[in-house]
Amino acid sequence: MSVLPPLASVADLAAMLNRTFTAAQEAQAQALLDQASSIVRSYLRQDITRATTTDTFTLRRADPVQHRCGGVVTLPQRPVVDIVSVSVNGTATSDWWQDGNDLLLRSPAWTHPPAAHAPPQVEVTYTHGWDRVPGDITAIVMQAATRVMVNPSGIRSETVGGESVTYLVPSTGEFLGVLLSRTEMKALDRYRRTSGTVAVRRR
């Protein structure tokens, strides 16, 4: 499985901070963006960037009223840009159609071997994700990286009544680092996959 690229670039981060990075700062920024991108992807359960993937799924029975087909697979990576190929139990088929993230198979495969003993396995090669990462995702990745880039110790100071007080940020006392805040997670929730078909095998 190939390594996914970061969801924001070092140049993006430098422009946002209005800074010119040294070589050491560039290396630090890249590491932080890689970490923040991994955390965002883990939370969303999405690759985000455009890619073509081959997954194997277990076919599930369709709602005869809603789908009117032999079986359905929900493709987990979104948005689905193109379905390249489909095979059922190792046999290629074109007897399918797409409805959003659902792949619908027209012919019922449940009454023929080996489906009579086990659910059919559907291998799908499909292209998914955004050609350009949505701006709000990029902004949150940079924001998470900036927290450490600008204030690596997570320290905030202010003067109260003539006395200097130093404590962790935010005010809850929890230093997030590149982890996501509740506000950031809420902003990302519209991209998050909360349910759907689980891939049996991916390559």
Last residue of a domain, one of 129, 146, 171: 129
For residues 59 and 125, state if they share a domain: yes
CA dist 108 and 111 (Å) reads 7
CA dist 184 and 56 (Å) reads 32
Q: What is the pLDDT of residue 118?
A: 77
1 in any annotated domain: no
> What mean pLDDT value characterizes the chain?
84
82 in any annotated domain: yes
Q: What is the pLDDT of residue 178?
A: 84
Q: What is the pLDDT of residue 148?
A: 86
Q: Where are the beta strands (DSSP E) in the chain?
A: 51-58, 71-74, 80-88, 91-92, 96-99, 102-105, 121-128, 155-160, 163-168, 199-202
198 in any annotated domain: no
For residues 110 and 189, the model is more confident at 189
Closest CA to 93 of 105, 103, 101: 105
CA dist 79 and 49 (Å) reads 10
For residues 111 and 62, state if they share a domain: yes
Q: What is the pLDDT of residue 168?
A: 44
Mean pLDDT in residue range 124-135: 97
For residues 55 and 124, state if they share a domain: yes
191 in any annotated domain: no
Residue pair 152/83 in contact by the 8 Å Cβ criterion: no
For residues 114 and 145, state if they share a domain: no
Last residue of a domain, one of 113, 129, 145: 129
Residue showing tokens 């949505």: 134
192 in any annotated domain: no
69 in any annotated domain: yes
Contacts of 135 (CB under 8 A, 6+ apart): none
Per residue in 55-85, pLDDT tens?
A: 999 998 876 656 678 889 999 999 999 999 9
72 in any annotated domain: yes
Which H helix or E strand runs over 139? helix 135-150
Range of the domain at 83: 51-129
201 in any annotated domain: no
pTM reported for the whole predicted model: 0.79
Asked if pLDDT for residue 176 goes beyond 90, the answer is no
Q: Rg (Cα) of the chain, in Å, rounded?
A: 23
CA dist 93 and 102 (Å) reads 16
For residues 34 and 78, state if they share a domain: no
Tell me the residue type at 89.
N
Per residue in 81-99, pLDDT tens?
A: 999 999 998 999 999 999 9
- Counting the structural domains of the chain, the total is 2
Asked if pLDDT for residue 105 goes beyond 70, the answer is yes
For residues 125 and 152, state if they share a domain: no
